[in-house]
Amino acid sequence: MSEDRGKTYLVTGAAGFIGFHVSRALLEAGGAVTGFDSLNDYYDVNLKRSRLALLRKYEKFRFIQARLEDKDAVRQTFSEPYDAVIHLAAQAGVRYSLENPEAYISSNLVGFFNILEAVKNQGRGHLLFASSSSVYGKNTKLPFSVDQKTDRPVSLYAATKKSNELLAFSYSDMYRLAATAMRFFTVYGPYGRPDMAVFKFARAILAGEPVQLYNHGDMYRDFTFVDDVAQSVVRLIGRSKALAAPDTPYQVYNIGNSTPVHLGRFVEILEEKLGRAAKKEYLPMQSGDVYKTCADPGELYADIGFTPQTPLERGLGLFVEWYKEYYGIGPGGGRGAGAFYGS
């Protein structure tokens, strides 16, 4: 990682899973990070506060608690320009979008518009923002390539992420705003989100409860370790092809491990790392899900010389170490900020 001393960054969603890891990587490289997060209660706020507690140990970190939909708060946050804005805040979750669609329109569309306007008005800097593998929707040709059409999303969450890409492209073209879309593939690791499969399965296995396997367990996912994601994001800040584009300064990248794993094998590895057998509940495919994901990270490697590569066995081992430490499972454990486990 190159030295970032003297550089200033805004990371939205800094108390979130990926935002925490990206913020930490930037701070470790010597950059100054302003974290922006609403600390909403979509999942355990204490976990978000634990991430923040670690970030607050860095002298060059400051935190702003506000909502993306609050235009005045966003405007005030941009009172001084940033070298790069890493926009990772969003209402996450495919299944939750079926229950509370308004939250996705408010945060992912209105909030994203506010960020676009703020970056445009500051007149400089690079916007990098989180998209998702879910934009590939009904595509069946694997691996997923950034050249494929992404006009058939199968969830509202995916539709808002595709909308973000379209809005960013328009702003790039109209205002020459350097923007980079990052399509993340099933990110997991320490300090992960409780609503995601890795976290939910670990909790269920340790509690002796059944893990719910949709499509009767016959699914594949391109699991991507969070340290690899953070390194990819940090490298893209200065090396995205968008920065050198002669016309519209916009670029899309897949950030994935490019090694799909069957859900059954994923559960087996997690059982091994936890030392417990899982009870299994087989369910039909749920609305908004897709059968298989696999990233083609060719553009990412060409531009930054790196792609996610941590094997699932190692990544799940690191996740389980953190999980046991954080929740006080086993000898010497104690719930709290816990130790940080990196690759």
> Helices 17-28 and 45-55, interaxial angle, to 10°?
0
Name the nearest CA neighbour of 241 among 183, 297, 302.
Answer: 302
Average of pLDDT values for 128-140? 95
Name the nearest CA neighbour of 322 among 235, 233, 209, 202.
Answer: 202
Name the nearest CA neighbour of 223 among 197, 249, 204, 241.
Answer: 197
pLDDT class for 336, splitting at 50, 70, 90?
A: very low
- Specify the CATH number for 8-187+224-256+293-309; select among 3.40.1370.10, 3.40.50.2020, 3.40.50.720, 1.10.3470.10: 3.40.50.720
Cα distance between residue 101 and residue 164, in whole Å: 16
Q: Convert the pLDDT of each residue in 22-50 to its tens digit.
A: 999 999 999 999 999 999 999 999 999 99
Residue 283 near residue 90, CB atoms below 8 Å: no
- CA neighbours within 13 Å on the CB side: how many for 226? 23
List, by residue number, the catalytic residues: 157
SS (H, E, C) 58-76: CCCEEEEECCCCCHHHHHH
pLDDT on residue 92: 86
pLDDT on residue 159: 95
Q: Convert the pLDDT of each residue in 239-255 to its tens digit.
A: 999 999 989 999 999 99
CA-angle at 229, arms to 56 and 285, nearest 5°: 115
pLDDT class for 94, splitting at 50, 70, 90?
A: confident
Q: Convert the pLDDT of each residue in 254-291 to its tens digit.
A: 999 999 999 999 999 999 999 999 999 999 988 878 89
Q: Convert the pLDDT of each residue in 147-194 to its tens digit.
A: 999 999 999 999 999 999 999 999 999 999 999 999 999 999 999 999
Rounded to the nearest 5 percent, the helix, strand and coil shares of the chain are 45, 15, 40
Mean pLDDT (the chain, rounded):
93
